[in-house]
Structure 1
């Protein structure tokens, strides 16, 4: 099939381009895509890319890596010739009737093909001799072109467009999935199904399609793809690291403007809105998760997202927020006084938290796992809390750690990537390796009703979080441009 960019074809025929967001496939046939493409958004996506910065070649390489990794880990590979991988997309969720929530693609599906439309399915076919090369056949099933539905919901790529966009071997309409699998099931026996059956992401596909394969029982077994995918995704390519850095830079710049914007008696909702606005103005699609915007004592609620209270003069606000850019997320936390100046108790608690955070960042090397950094965090925090008198000096060492867990009840880190809490099946006891991206986020939370602590500290909650790239040498703080030292924050807010 010949494929032409609109302007190129019209120029050849002697016309000026009239449809800048349309691709012509074949003789003067107009083609809209269901997502940005190099043919329609050359300012955003280069030729040969599916997602900005991510090429057709990289997506193909990911599928090859998946096949190789799967077959190497499968114990019965020598006795099983055929392997069928099934990855559904997300489906559209509705808040009421026909009013949808913002769509976010299933990240495993997106990682393997870059296709952004709901109710799609990726099938990867391989055989046992692919264990070395990763050779495979990739087939997408996508919503069919439908003028009536596209009038209401926007353009669809259709099977032809999906092939042009993603470079898969073939694409068909999604209503042909059952027929395709029936033929596959008829022609193959004793094959392995690779599918995340434990956490299905698309209920309809799970019931209709996978149920069809299970019912006939011609397959050998079903292998869960979750651990397999997470082990691949936890290591970021150079292109992914670049996208993540852009996402972090956007969030860091937005944080600066939000700090400068905040003032006594501001509503948490206004801070939230300002963060959302600044991230979108810098190019992010949306916030990566509902942000925590917690003023005063509400900062002691770790996942506070109500965000509807007034932050009073003399109080601090803890904001945990990030954004999503082209499928990759950032996740930062800063705590600052809305008045622009820390009180002395606030400063002492803040500097204690900051010291622990900076020491933990230094440990983000191949010598440590996230769990080991967490253990170090507890000991460092215990030392700080002893100095501040929050933990009594006569407390036995073991009890010191227990009390520290009370004042910091969460882990110090998680993996970061396409999802905020990325690759959750990858153990935090595994040693860190180059090209992983992690967070470092210690906190100190003193409840208002903890009368064992001096009154000057009660009701204060502090967390500081940066995004860290693990390398072969020193870790790189990707969010270094976001101010976090008390003096930097006060200077910023004084302008």
Structure 2
């Protein structure tokens, strides 16, 4: 791994938090991800399942974590099963975790090789009354592809049909959403790397450069700072491309007079950052671009004030909608008739601001969390209002990552990123 070793106390605390919410005499099982094939003998780079990583720190394939806090045998209360390494694997694939190294990085004392799983798990299930399976219940999840976890659940439901089945997802969504200090430090590292890349490209952008060249500058800065790479597919969208919310082709020339919307974030130790800035290709905004930019900036600043403990996220989004409506009226993009005749289920402002303002962020860019529960201190959210005007070939979005704090405004994890119009222009022209 490119990142430095994470303090195992993080994973010990995370396991404790999960086990405290398990029902009596139950087992919880968490599987690593598959290595996904492309074709022939090619495969995609391995990405660990965020839940097993959150609970153990294990960042390799063919791994299983089992938690059984009520086990009569103390050594079976936390158990890791790992793929047994050998000299051949070491030569062809590189080092894998040994039992000793696994303990050092995870804090799990009992480690077996994967071929022992069925025997040990049978002993545990003979004693347990129920089992927690880890299904993907993220609201935006695409669950068409069968995962290693899916195959595991299908198999072991048949083998143990009399056990009560419980869901890990609700527990994980609660505990993953409130970050430990160690997690915040890792996320800050990701944000710091993103800041370096952003400042690099501000000096690089000029009329005639191509979107993919900007992307190349970003990934160069990421890798040289020990990032795993992009936390999500980067959006480098100049001119009218900025009005496509998930534009990822990044294959057009950046032209004089256009604004370029850049939505990208570094990943560090599997933790994500997520920022967006919209900057002038020429280094100077036009009068109209300034109007729209300042409208988005106003909404962002006011929205951030609402991100405090106790806020309900659906109500927050409604209030941000009112803020955006006011700005769109001032920009003459909406009029009072539009407001009067709007569909309450799709308000008039949605014509120019059609996405949500904030989402959880952490191990996933759109992280686990309970959107129907009040915001708590220690959660981290994005704040990303935008205005998109296809007829003007103009899209402006501004985004930072914010730590929720008790008794005060959220802490911006990206304070060094130029945000004000004058800051951006000065930096680009210095």
Q: TM-score, normalised by structure 2?
A: 0.91
> Whole-Å Cα distance in 2 between the matches of residues 172 and 135 of structure 1?
11
Q: Closer, same or farther in 2 for the Cα pair 1:316/1:120, shift >3 Å?
A: same
Larger C-alpha radius of gyration, 1 or 2?
1
Among candidates 162, 181, 194, match of residue 132 of structure 2: 194
Q: Closer, same or farther in 2 for the Cα pair 1:211/1:381, shift >3 Å?
A: closer
Q: Closer, same or farther in 2 for the Cα pair 1:485/1:193, shift >3 Å?
A: same
Among candidates 217, 225, 236, match of residue 282 of structure 1: 225
Q: Which runs of 5+ in 2 are unaligned?
A: 138-142
Matches within 5 A, 1:84-99: 84-99=27-42
Counterpart residue number, 1:298? 241
* Superposition CA RMSD, Å: 2.3
- Whether contact under 8 Å (2:75, 2:110) holds in the other structure is no
- Whether contact under 8 Å (1:267, 1:309) holds in the other structure is yes
- Whether contact under 8 Å (1:370, 1:414) holds in the other structure is no
Counterpart residue number, 1:319? 262
Tell me the alpha carbon deviations over residues 192-216 of structure 1, each in whole angstroms, 9 at most, x when there is no partner: 1101246689744643x44443224
Counterpart residue number, 2:316? 373
> Whole-Å Cα distance in 2 between the matches of residues 384 and 198 of structure 1?
38
Matched, 1:480 2:419: no
> Whole-Å Cα distance in 2 between the matches of residues 367 and 157 of structure 1?
42
Cα deviation for residue 167 of structure 1 reads: 2.3
> Whole-Å Cα distance in 2 between the matches of residues 386 and 240 of structure 1?
41
Matches within 5 A, 1:78-477: 82-127=25-70, 137-185=77-125, 187-188=126-127, 191-197=129-135, 203-204=147-148, 206-207=150-151, 209-217=152-160, 219-397=162-340, 399=342, 402-424=347-369, 426-427=370-371, 429-448=372-391, 458-472=392-406, 473-477=408-412
Tell me the alpha carbon deviations over residues 269-321 of structure 1, each in whole angstroms, 9 at most, x when there is no partner: 01111111112223322110110110100100001001111111110110100
Q: Partner of 2:373: helix, strand, or coil?
A: coil
Among candidates 5, 22, 27, match of residue 70 of structure 1: 22
Q: Partner of 1:311: helix, strand, or coil?
A: coil
Q: Partner of 2:21: helix, strand, or coil?
A: helix
Q: Partner of 2:163: helix, strand, or coil?
A: strand
- Whether contact under 8 Å (1:181, 1:213) holds in the other structure is no
- Whether contact under 8 Å (2:28, 2:131) holds in the other structure is yes
Q: Closer, same or farther in 2 for the Cα pair 1:175/1:398, shift >3 Å?
A: farther
> Whole-Å Cα distance in 2 between the matches of residues 166 and 367 of structure 1?
34
- Whether contact under 8 Å (1:126, 1:135) holds in the other structure is no
User: May I ask how many residue pairs the two structures share in their alignment?
Assistant: 420
Q: TM-score, normalised by structure 1?
A: 0.80
> Whole-Å Cα distance in 2 between the matches of residues 113 and 214 of structure 1?
24
Q: Partner of 2:324: helix, strand, or coil?
A: helix
> Whole-Å Cα distance in 1 between the matches of residues 386 and 176 of structure 2?
28
Q: Closer, same or farther in 2 for the Cα pair 1:164/1:256, shift >3 Å?
A: closer
Q: Which runs of 5+ in 1 are unaligned?
A: 1-34, 37-43, 46-50, 72-76, 449-457
Q: Closer, same or farther in 2 for the Cα pair 1:390/1:116, shift >3 Å?
A: same
> Whole-Å Cα distance in 1 between the matches of residues 221 and 365 of structure 2?
19
Larger relative contact order (CA 8 Å, sep ≥ 6): 2
Cα deviation for residue 485 of structure 1 reads: 0.8
Among candidates 10, 23, 36, match of residue 58 of structure 1: 10
Cα deviation for residue 69 of structure 1 reads: 1.4
> Whole-Å Cα distance in 2 between the matches of residues 198 and 235 of structure 1?
19
> Whole-Å Cα distance in 2 between the matches of residues 140 and 171 of structure 1?
5
